[in-house]
Amino acid sequence: MYNPTVARLTYRALLGRRRAAILFVLPGLLLLIAAAVRGFNGPDDQIAADVLGGFALATMVPLIGVIAGTGAIGPEIDDGSIVYLLAKPVKRPTIILTKLIVAIAVTMVFSAVPTFLAGLILNGNGQQVAVAHTVAALVASIAYSALFLLLGTVSRHAVVIGLVYALVWEALFGSLIEGAKTLSVQQWALAVAERVTGDGLVASDVGLPAAVALLAGVTVAATWYAGQKLRTLTLAGDE
Amino acid sequence: MTTIDIDHVSRWFGNVVAVNDVTMTIGPGVTGLLGPNGAGKSTLINMMGGFLAPSNGTVTLDGEPIWRNESVYRRIGVVPEREAMYDFLTGREFVVANAELHGLGAAEAGKALATVEMEYAQDRKIATYSKGMRQRVKMASALVHEPSVLLLDEPFNGMDPRQRMQLMDLLRRMGAEGRTVLFSSHILEEVEQLASHIEVIVAGRHAASGDFRRIRRLMTDRPHRYLVRSSDDRALAAALIADPSTAGIEVDVTEGALRIQAVDFARFTELLPRVAREHSIRLLTVSPSDESLESVFSYLVAA
């Protein structure tokens, strides 16, 4: 179910593109913000939780997820080079699963690692704030990667749709509107973080069992559907 | 011996019919798929390559359906028309990756690169390749598992004459080895030089099928139209119409020229200068007026 050649092609394409610069810019920005906040306020558990929840989880993780998830397959479908993967006796779900694993790994490295470092800078992991948000970033990485990989498989406008989802839905509605919170990867991940950290520092509107079920459900369903779409992917000619 | 069977296949996109009820069998040897641009050649090749489902009918490889059947790629090699490849890889890395996806390795990749004579540039990034070099690396990636069927969409596009000859030699060799080689082209001469068997597609329909001599004859025997200006149009017209190779002549007064319809191409081309000389008529203009490929093809469809 995992093909090392597909994985190699995927991560080289992912990190070799200009878009990959964002993968470095966003974590850099987070660390910069963390250092500035620490410099001005000193260590403060609540502020640490606010920065990690408000910027790292609400904005950075979904954006990295968009870049890695759509970038793992979208450009290949757009320019038609996916034909070299499809014209092989390799099962389509294997291609999807491999690309998903690469997208998850890239999202985790570029979102969970900087989240943890930022947490250490902010309050030295007091009240487990850094660990909690890192765990949240890790689980969110999985769900985002699966969602955006599916998006990259079904739509040529995956990046735009992904950005709208990440910025408008997750970052804006997800933190403001009650109903939207239940359908937000960010809130599900926060439910996991809530369990890890000390009282009251992280709050999610979704209960832990529901959050875990939704995370797992979305990941599995999106991956399965992407595999199905790839099986019937049509490469129309230029005419 | 591997055969692709296309049985009453149609394919439409929305309400545009790209391929219309085509039935043909592609067997061992080199087959040329000839037709003007937009005739449906790529659509047909995409269906043979399993990248497009037929809207109607079946496309099979030795009886096995090709659509949604990954196992056929053990026997099929595909050279797509589109340029996009993994440009950030070197030629060698690209062909090795293709080999690995077939469960093969560097040895087979090396052999394929040698076959297309690309070893000299195999360690350069594909992004730096010329169109002809890309085409050859695409070939190598399709040959790496020694498929019994090779599908090539407009393989000669953008190649210089030397590269074209090399690729033709290679395809000829593969056909002679008993592989089923199918390539598409909109250039008659290309197809004629390479293919022993030709399938002609015009406007989504299967217009003609057979060996190239038959198709060539159909193309040359069709009525030809010429626009001729001379020092004495009416005397020339009178002399020409007496010969059975000429079916009709119109004196176009506004143009100051003759519009001639010839039915016997070979005989007419010999007749015209002879008649002019015998009657001391100077020929000022002789130009074929319907030599476009489209008109040649549309004649074939009607035939």
pLDDT tens-digit series, residues B56-77: 999 999 999 999 999 999 999 9
When pLDDT is cut at 50, 70 and 90, the band that residue A182 belongs to is confident
Show the CA angle centred on residue B116, arms to residues B113 and B121, nearest 5°.
60
Find the mean pLDDT for residues A147-154: 95
Instruction: Say if B246 is an interface residue toward chain A (CB within 8 Å).
Output: no
| DSSP secondary structure of B163-199 | HHHHHHHHHHHHHHTT-EEEEEES-HHHHHHH-SEEE
CATH number of B223-290: 3.30.70
Chain A residues in contact with B54 by the CB 8 A cut-off are none
User: Is residue A56 scored above 50 in pLDDT?
Assistant: yes
- The answer to whether residues A64 and A110 touch, using CB atoms and an 8 Å cutoff, is yes
3-class state of residue B120 by DSSP:
helix
Q: Tell me which chain B residue has its CA closest to the CA of residue A92.
A: B70
B101–A88 C-beta distance less than 8 A: yes
- The answer to whether residues B132 and B159 touch, using CB atoms and an 8 Å cutoff, is yes
B45–A87 C-beta distance less than 8 A: no
- Chain B window 199-228: which residues touch A at a Cβ cutoff of 8 Å? none
Q: What is the pLDDT of residue A200?
A: 75
3-class state of residue B256 by DSSP:
coil
Find the mean pLDDT for residues A187-196: 89
Q: What is the pLDDT of residue B199?
A: 92
Structure confidence by residue, pLDDT tens digits, A34-55: 999 999 988 998 999 999 998 9
Q: What is the pLDDT of residue A195?
A: 86
Instruction: Say if A156 is an interface residue toward chain B (CB within 8 Å).
Output: no
Phi, psi of B272 (to 5 degrees): -55, -55
Chain A residues in contact with B73 by the CB 8 A cut-off are 87-89
Sequence ranges of the domains in chain A? 4-231
Share of chain A above pLDDT 70, in %: 97
Chain A residues in contact with B158 by the CB 8 A cut-off are none
Structure confidence by residue, pLDDT tens digits, A70-87: 999 999 999 899 999 999
Best mean pLDDT range from A123-127, A233-237, B9-13:
B9-13
- The answer to whether residues A65 and A152 touch, using CB atoms and an 8 Å cutoff, is no
- A136 or B287, greater pLDDT: A136
CA distances from A176 to A48, A58, A162, A202, A207 (A): 20, 12, 19, 15, 18
Q: What span, in angstroms and rounded, lies between the C-alpha atoms of A58 and A60?
A: 6
A84–B102 C-beta distance less than 8 A: no
Chain B residues in contact with A15 by the CB 8 A cut-off are none
Best mean pLDDT range from A133-137, A201-205, B209-213, B232-236:
A133-137
Chain A residues in contact with B43 by the CB 8 A cut-off are 236-237, 239
Classify domain B4-219 at the CATH class level: alpha beta
B42–A238 C-beta distance less than 8 A: yes
B51–A88 C-beta distance less than 8 A: no
Q: What span, in angstroms and rounded, lies between the C-alpha atoms of B64 and B62?
A: 6
Sequence ranges of the domains in chain B? 4-219, 223-290
- A141 or A197, greater pLDDT: A141
CA distance B74 to chain A (A): 6
Pairing of strands B197-202, B29-34: parallel
CA distance B77 to chain A (A): 8
Q: What is the pLDDT of residue B150?
A: 96
Q: What is the pLDDT of residue A98?
A: 97
Which residues, given as ranges, of chain B have pLDDT below 70? Answer: 216, 220-221, 290-303
B78–A234 C-beta distance less than 8 A: no
